[in-house]
Structure 1
Amino acid sequence: MAEERSQRRLAAIMAADVVGYSRLIEQNEASTLAALKERRRTILAPLVAHHHGRIVKVMGDGVLVEFGSAVNAVACAVELQHRMAEANDGLPEDRKVVLRIGINLGDVVVDGGDLYGDGVNVANRLQGIAGPGDICVAGSVYDQVKRKLDFGFDELGLQTVKNIAEPVLVYRVWSSSSTMQDYYGQAEKAALPLPGKPSIAVLPFTNMSNDTEQETFVDGLTEDLITDLSRTSGLFVIASNSVFAYKGRYVDVRRIARELGVRYLLEGSARRAAGRVRINAQLIDAIGGDHLWAERFDRSLEDIFAVQDEVTGKIVEALVGRLTTPPARSRPTNLEAYELCVRARALGLQTALVAREAIFLLERAIALDPEYAEAYRWLALNLWCGWEFWDEPMDPNRARAEAEAQRAVALDPNDAGNRWVLGTILGHERRWAESDAEFDATLRLDPNCADAWAMRSDLITLNGRPADAVEYVRKALRLNPHPPGWYYWMLGQAQYALRDYESAVQTLLRPETYRTTSRRLLAASLAQLGRMEEARQEAEMFMISNPNFTIRHWSASQPIRDEDVRQHFVDGYRMAGLPE
């Protein structure tokens, strides 16, 4: 009989809950419950009906809604956040009802009027990832709505969610009604001021080949052009992570320039076929609307690196004239090795499983080209992250990570990326003078290296200089306005060390940051604010993903130079209830 009543279907599921519900109830239970009831009646129910949805159930501070269309679900969620923001207007902070929303498109099990299954579970996890006033959607939802709704989307990358076997690709919805700007007290999408030097962003080149497998090759071309331009001290160059936030999106170039805070944009396309590559590139003045330079390159594939150098030289000459050429980076001698390295580079630093895949690709690249410095650098970084963050074996990965990083610098001391990776590893080995020297060399070679600015802030915080660390992350964020989540982890850590716990909580609640590693620091920050129930909840959730964590082991393993800083972190972790 149970099987006859149950059925499966594809549905778009919206899960929403109230941020800080326990705190609101504690402050004024009657007022909070009345406000929730009123908003469900006057805002939620009419919007769900208008967008052809069905309220499945209401659970205290949360609600689960089913839609037959992903478009309807996202449109409803955006309007819901807009209406909630209007209702909060003029209310004191302790009476504002702020939602976070997650939306997933997946298979659900229908039993009576209720819904079950992974489709529902993922929606709930996405809601947990979302920050205050935010909407986070799964990649399956994004694929359905990206060209049907006039909203922007920030890719937050693959996220590991509880009880779901595979990581979920997550996007955050941006719209004119986004309430996150109000919550954080800053207009994140407002135009950034232009730097004092010529500023440029290289937009992701378009793959014009019929073969979709060439996408990685074209992305690698974009990244290499950014790297080469970045080394020119006379330019201000936006990091690749931020420009790839616009990939596949049809956004006016003037808007992109405003959001990234640059005057010039490089657009281009590449077609690879039959051993040849054709590249079209044009340099645009986004303020004046002029095309400053455009050219087509039709070359043998073996000449790809010469083409990159030529494009870089023409852009530099067009913007700042002839400058002293920075020391050349070494180039791979084997094109297959280069493509393997580009594939590994594209994987990023996400999970232990992804790191193992990257390591496999990089070892193959090195076997083909034993003098390929960049491959050694990424190999070192993945090995280091494995034992430092993802419970991979320390032996032999720890010693090997340092050896591979040293090898990268020996092969190419003029590549800033090699230098900051070695500097990071040496710093965590407590070889601080050597680490400082490598970071100094990095920023001389490439003052636009956003990752180096952000990574160095970690070591500076642990050296007892959190105010300097905040400035370093701010520099990184200006160069990389759409950064990977670990930038905000570094910022939150520095804010905690400064005892600016409110700012730390706001930073660490951002969806880009809200991951397993950041929960520990978020728990400590909440505890320092006296928000003990939330602190203990975050600590418990952190321990689910990090069951072997102890304060003692953490304290012994960190490259902390200032004992007051060490004790301050230890105190916060103890207050939050993390195990000794």
Structure 2
Amino acid sequence: MRYFFEDYVLNTDRRELHRGADVVPIAPQVFDLLDYLIRSRERVVSKDDLINAIWNGRSVSDAALTTRLNAARTAIGDSGNEQRLIKTLPRKGFRFVGQVREVAGSDSGQATAESALSVLDKPSIAVLPFENMSGDPEQEYFADGMVDEITTALSRFRSLFVIARNSSFSYKGKAVDIKQVGRELGVRYVLEGSVRKAAGKVRIIGQLIDVATGVHLWADRFEGDLSDVFTLQDRMTESVIAAIEPRVFRAEVDLAARRPNSLSAYDLCLRAIPHLYSFTRDGSAEALRLVSRALEIDPRYGFAATLAGSCHIQKVTQGWATDPKSEFAEGLRLLRLVLSIDGNDHLALSMLSYAAAWSGDFGTAREMVDRAIISNPNAAFAWSTRGWTCRMAGDLEEAIRSFERAVLLSPFDPLLFVTLTEMGVAFIDLGRFDEAVVAAKKALSQTQSFLPSYCCLITALAHLGREAEAKESATRLLELKSDFRISEWVSRSGLRINQMFVDGLRKAGIPE
């Protein structure tokens, strides 16, 4: 097991602590203490708990225990005064309070741990949801859209590690402590702000905060007509870049090909996104209706065409299309239209990669997704798509590394359940059924309506011989979709499903 927190990795299989590419020296007993605190992080650990777990119940002085705790804190850059990660609760015990991400299994070597965290050795930023100051709840989507555009623009700078929009939005509507946000997302800087839209005018206020010190490094206000909204975004983005990384060239933020000629088309696309993300037949239909209207307003609006193409592809892959062949062809046409407008659009490239892999053209799929990552190395969706493409092509270890990078970039993504499910399937393909169970259960903890997550869990449990649990999950699957049949699912999924997966479903009693 590997535990990721801040810029550290605790690898329990290799018994190593890494900070970025460096191995941190740590005594065996201190390693055990840190491992126990992290594994028990959901509760307060008493002194007796530590003595029983680390010293097997032998008599240990308070001084010896304090020495080991201080050594553990020092190893991870903490201290008794700061208690940023290991907190002492007087007369209660101790607790590890840092945000932790678990990755099942050990890496195949030093390179994996280094590559997973090397991205954190650069300035990192999260753009929090902007506060809607318009006094109209209906304008929430506009403030959210501003954050989307700024996040996308920042992500184009490879010198930055940018947390994905979807993870930052887990804080929407909450009173947040900036230092806590920094710890949970693993960033050094946070950008927060507000948007006021009224009477054809817009005002954006932003401030950049150093998470470690709480110091405001930069603050500014941008005002203008709604017709100038994208110019305001560019000015704000360039100011943030100048504040966070003075050595970055003040490159012009070229988003012209991704922008509509009319703000109405932009609004329609923003409203379509949650429908597309719902992964339901009705949601996909509503998203397509909205983005089709956007394309009527501006036929060469790249973002609208990407969303429309995604809707058509989703309808085919989820089995909702009445004419899959023509639906798929229309999706490809729209995505290729986007590339004719902007050949580096990472979303369109990722979706074309997905479509190519679905069709069995793995060479094209890999080429497209690698272009997407070159275009935007901070795009979690591109890394997740790369994982799926690699799995389809049989490169399973590379698939898992790509899925892990996607989770690292966007740990609170609302579509994380898709990435985790596909990671679980890759584990099944490798015969690593215990890890598949962990991944599938994490996916189901986010949403309990995604059928592939149940299929992944059922198959892994069945191959482990955990028949009662497999049948319990199978019952839940059939409650959600009473007419679920293996043959129909395999027919629709095509190349995605191997025989081992099908055998697991059969063992659990899923109808043929």
Q: Same fold (TM over 0.5)?
A: yes
Q: Which residue of 2 aligns with 1:297?
A: 222
Q: Structure 1 CA distance, aligned partners of 2:287 and 2:378?
A: 25
Q: Which residue of 2 aligns with 1:517?
A: 452
Q: Which residue of 2 aligns with 1:129?
A: none
2:369 is equivalent to residue 439 of structure 1:
yes
5 Å-filtered alignment, 1:94-105, equals none
Q: Which residue of 2 aligns with 1:340?
A: 268
Which residue identity does 1:542 align to in structure 2?
L
Superposed displacement of residue 265, structure 1: 0.7
Could you give the per-residue CA deviations for residues 179-233 of structure 1, whole angstroms, max 9, x where no partner exists? x9899999xxxxx998111100001010011111110000011011111111111
Q: Give the SS at the match of 1:249.
A: coil
Q: Structure 1 CA distance, aligned partners of 2:354 and 2:396?
A: 17
C-alpha spacing 1:548/1:432, structure 2 compared with 1 (3 Å): farther
Which residue identity does 2:435 align to in structure 1?
S
Superposed displacement of residue 553, structure 1: 4.3
Of the candidates 387, 396, 399, which is equivalent to residue 316 of structure 2?
387
Superposed displacement of residue 252, structure 1: 0.5
Q: Give the SS at the match of 1:436.
A: helix
Return 5+ residue gaps in structure 2 as ranges: 1-41, 54-94, 106-116
Q: Give the SS at the match of 2:347.
A: helix
Superposed displacement of residue 387, structure 1: 2.6
5 Å-filtered alignment, 1:121-270, equals 195-270=120-195
Superposed displacement of residue 284, structure 1: 1.0
C-alpha spacing 1:193/1:435, structure 2 compared with 1 (3 Å): closer
C-alpha spacing 1:317/1:181, structure 2 compared with 1 (3 Å): closer
Superposed displacement of residue 329, structure 1: 4.8
Which residue identity does 1:477 align to in structure 2?
V
In terms of mean alpha carbon deviation, does 433-442 or 371-380 score higher? 433-442
Q: Structure 1 CA distance, aligned partners of 2:291 and 2:218?
A: 36
Q: Structure 2 CA distance, aligned partners of 1:570 and 1:329?
A: 47
5 Å-filtered alignment, 1:444-455, equals 444-455=374-385
TM-score (normalised: structure 1): 0.65
Of the candidates 364, 369, 381, which is equivalent to residue 293 of structure 2?
364
Q: Structure 2 CA distance, aligned partners of 1:524 and 1:455?
A: 23
Q: Which residue of 2 aligns with 1:462?
A: 392
Q: Structure 1 CA distance, aligned partners of 2:103 and 2:368?
A: 35
1:352–1:390: 8 Å Cα contact kept in structure 2?
Answer: no
Which residue identity does 1:497 align to in structure 2?
D
Q: Structure 1 CA distance, aligned partners of 2:103 and 2:232?
A: 44
Q: Which residue of 2 aligns with 1:529?
A: 464
Superposed displacement of residue 413, structure 1: 1.8
Superposed displacement of residue 264, structure 1: 0.6
Q: Structure 1 CA distance, aligned partners of 2:156 and 2:102?
A: 37
Superposed displacement of residue 357, structure 1: 1.2
5 Å-filtered alignment, 1:561-576, equals 566-576=498-508
Q: Which residue of 1 aligns with 2:423?
A: 491
Q: Give the SS at the match of 2:120.
A: coil
C-alpha spacing 1:367/1:467, structure 2 compared with 1 (3 Å): same
2:317–2:493: 8 Å Cα contact kept in structure 1?
Answer: no
5 Å-filtered alignment, 1:498-513, equals 498-510=430-442, 511-512=445-446
Which residue identity does 1:255 align to in structure 2?
Q
Q: CA RMSD in A?
A: 3.1
Superposed displacement of residue 550, structure 1: 3.8
In terms of mean alpha carbon deviation, does 274-283 or 193-202 score higher? 193-202
In terms of mean alpha carbon deviation, does 546-555 or 201-210 score higher? 546-555
Q: Which residue of 2 aligns with 1:322?
A: 248
Return 5+ residue gaps in structure 1 as ranges: 1-80, 93-175, 187-191
Q: Structure 2 CA distance, aligned partners of 1:269 and 1:434?
A: 42
Could you give the per-residue CA deviations for residues 517-566 of structure 1, whole angstroms, max 9, x where no partner exists? 211111000001101122123223323434554434444544648xxx82
Matched residue count: 407
Q: Structure 1 CA distance, aligned partners of 2:373 and 2:101?
A: 35
Query: In percent, how many aligned pairs have the same letter?
Result: 34
